[in-house]
Structure formats: structure tokens, C-alpha cells
Amino acid sequence: MTGLTSRVATAANIIEDDGPPALFKAKLNNVRPLVNMLRAVGFRTRVLCTISNTGLVFTVDEAQAMVAQSFFRTSLFSSFFFDTSAAAADDDQPEYVSEQGDGDNDVVTQITLPLDKLIECLTLFYGPGSG
């Protein structure tokens, strides 16, 4: 059992210690509301996630004729961190797009995610049988 514990501890240290500081971190006490909202807008396979100082916005559109959005304010998270200076500096990265308006409150980062895989991963945190 100690071998497994040391591997998990080593993996946790690698995740926390390596690489540049995180652009975005958020923690929810219960992921079920997030999963339910994502399922409600899940009529397409991909979702556009917009991260800003005000929270997260998940947007799905169907041929630019129908748009569904779910908005999660920062107050819904037990912790929420978005590094606006890193977002403004990293807009050349291909994985996401950062835009900056007139002030720091206008800095956003957008990333497109596979919705079904995102829901599947988030569901792992509460399992199918838990309430």
C-alpha cells in the first residue's frame, strides 16, 4: 500500500510543482450543478468555455440559429482564480484565445472543449449512484 501512496504523492507533487503558474483554477464543493447545467446545453458535441473575472460561461450554438449559455458566477465556487495578466500575455497560444478590453475586468480566455468528455470526466467526481 505504501508504494501506491508514494506514487500518488509523487504525481501530486509533479502536478503542483512543474510548469508555469496556472492561468485558471477553480474549486467546487459539489460538481453536480455544473454537470446538470452542461447537460442542459448539450445539444452539440463541443462547448465554448469563456473564463473571466466574473466566472465561467459555457456556450453552445446550432448553426448560429440557436444559442444556449450557462453562466457560473465566481460566488458559486469555493475558490476561483483567474490570472488576467497571464491571460493578456498568452494570447498567442493555439489552445485558447485571450482577449482584452479596456480594463482588467474585460480580459477573457476562451477554449473549446468536447462536451461529452467534459461531462464524463466531471461525473467521475460524484459517481452514478451517489446523491
* Segment 18-72, tens digit of pLDDT: 567 778 899 988 888 899 999 988 888 899 999 999 999 999 998 888 889 999 9
- Supply the angle between the helices 115-123 and 32-40 in degrees, to the nearest 10: 160
pLDDT at 13: 44
The answer to whether 59 and 109 are in contact (CB under 8 A) is no
The answer to whether 50 and 56 are in contact (CB under 8 A) is yes
Q: Is 0.85 topped by the overall pTM?
A: no
- Considering 1-5, 72-76, 102-106, the range whose residues carry the highest mean pLDDT is 72-76
Confidence of residue 88 (pLDDT cuts 50, 70, 90): low
pLDDT at 4: 39
The answer to whether 72 and 55 are in contact (CB under 8 A) is yes
C-alpha 19, offset from chain centre: 18
